[in-house]
Amino acid sequence: MPITSQLFGHTRRGAPVTAYRMHHPNGACAVVLDYGGTVQSLCVPDRSGRLVDVVLGYDTVEEYEAGDGYVGATIGRFANRIGGGAFFLNGQAFQLAQNDGENHLHGGQYGFDKQLWQGQVRGDTLVLSRTSPHGEEGYPGTLELQVSFTWTQDCGLRIAYEAETDQDTPLNLTNHSYFNLAGTGTVSGHTLQISAERCTETRPDGLPTGRLLEVEGTPFDFRQEKPIGESFAYDHNFVLCGRSAARLYCPETGIVLTVETDQPGMQVYTSNMLSQQMGKGGVPFGVRSAVCLETQLFPDGMHHYGFPNPFLRAGQTLHTATCYRFSQTP
């Protein structure tokens, strides 16, 4: 079905923001904004055929500009944290914004989530493009980036990333959608399965120690599907075993979300620090209102030997993709 577009609003500087509406033949519909490369709405059928909006979001541009939870946004240049907001590359020291205590988080004060992208419809695919100039948020090199959104035949929203740089630069891209397969309430009763036998040990400030811990016998053991619950606040990177990363299920609606990716890690975040606020249609959300399944490289990878390479080299092209596939149980 054709992708349609309409004006969503204007930024505080007066720039227009476009909403692109992407329909699937089974009735599912995704709305993607060119502000922040943001998935604003994602409606999928439940077991009775009723459409449920399964991601958190806002009704206005003003709320996205003011928000600090990266709700639904494309994250970059570097998703997750960089210790001290600093790194060495090719013998040179770089200092980034320290917007998470002493650390750098999700690309800085004005990361990709706060930028306007250029939208183009190519058949059944929406392509958002932008140039991140040399020095943006302190990062080296001019980065050319495209993020493509496509519905697959089996109701998967596939998000594909492509990037090139003229200088070596850190790069770690993800989407920060907050999923609630009931559309409201908390996700404590959702069940989750993660294809991971290890996770990165995490310090109190969210940085990894460099150690990989076995999940067996810990609250991080989601190898068998179990309720997310309320006894533990998750904001941790899981070391994925293969392309089938995770399965999220809501018993109330029967909606199943499966995550497939070529990335080595996935940050699971149960919105522990999400402030109580009003979302789309006047529906409130806050702590434990959703879970993020952020496929990615490992956090702070430039400071830990053995972590996946966090740098894109000049002349190389990054290709990576994640698919969020929806189905229903009887």
Find the mean pLDDT for residues 16-20.
98
pLDDT at 2: 85
Find the mean pLDDT for residues 16-23.
98
Counting Cα atoms < 13 Å in the Cβ hemisphere of 168 gives 13
List b or e across 144-165, with b for residues whose CB sees 16 or more CB atoms inside 10 angstroms. ebbbbbbbeeebbbbbbbbbbb
Which residue is catalytic, options 106, 236, 294, 304?
294
The whole-angstrom separation of Cα 202 and Cα 160 is 28
Which residue is catalytic, options 104, 106, 176, 190?
176
pLDDT tens for each residue of 79-94: 999 999 999 999 999 9
Residue with tokens 């990333």: 161
Per the annotation, the verdict on 197 as an active-site residue is: no
Residue with tokens 């990335």: 263
- Of 251-255, 282-286, 309-313, the least confident: 282-286
CA distances from 130 to 5, 35, 164 (A): 19, 11, 11
Find the mean pLDDT for residues 258-282.
95
Per the annotation, the verdict on 176 as an active-site residue is: yes
Share of the chain above pLDDT 70, in %: 100
Find the mean pLDDT for residues 185-207.
97
Find the mean pLDDT for residues 296-315.
97
Residues 6+ apart with CB under 8 A from 163: 143, 144, 145, 146, 171, 173, 312, 317, 318
**DSSP H or E run through 63:** helix 61-66
Find the mean pLDDT for residues 22-28.
97
pLDDT at 261: 98
Q: Which residues pair with 116 in a beta bridge?
A: 35
**DSSP H or E run through 62:** helix 61-66
Q: Does domain 4-328 sit in CATH 2.70.98.10?
A: yes
Q: Kindly report the average pLDDT of the chain as a whole number.
A: 97
Do 64 and 33 form a contact (C-beta atoms < 8 A)?
yes
Do 89 and 168 form a contact (C-beta atoms < 8 A)?
yes
Find the mean pLDDT for residues 223-239.
95
CA distances from 256 to 144, 178, 220, 328 (A): 34, 15, 21, 6
Do 289 and 187 form a contact (C-beta atoms < 8 A)?
yes
pLDDT at 1: 73
The residue that leads in pLDDT, 267 or 67, is: 267
Residue with tokens 């980034």: 96
Which band of pLDDT confidence, cut at 50, 70 and 90, is reported for residue 175? very high
pLDDT of 68 strictly over 90: no
Considering the entire predicted model, what is its pTM? 0.97
Structural domain boundaries in the chain: 4-328
pLDDT of 305 strictly over 80: yes
Q: Is 90 left (phi over 0), alpha (psi -120 to 50) or beta?
A: left
pLDDT at 231: 85
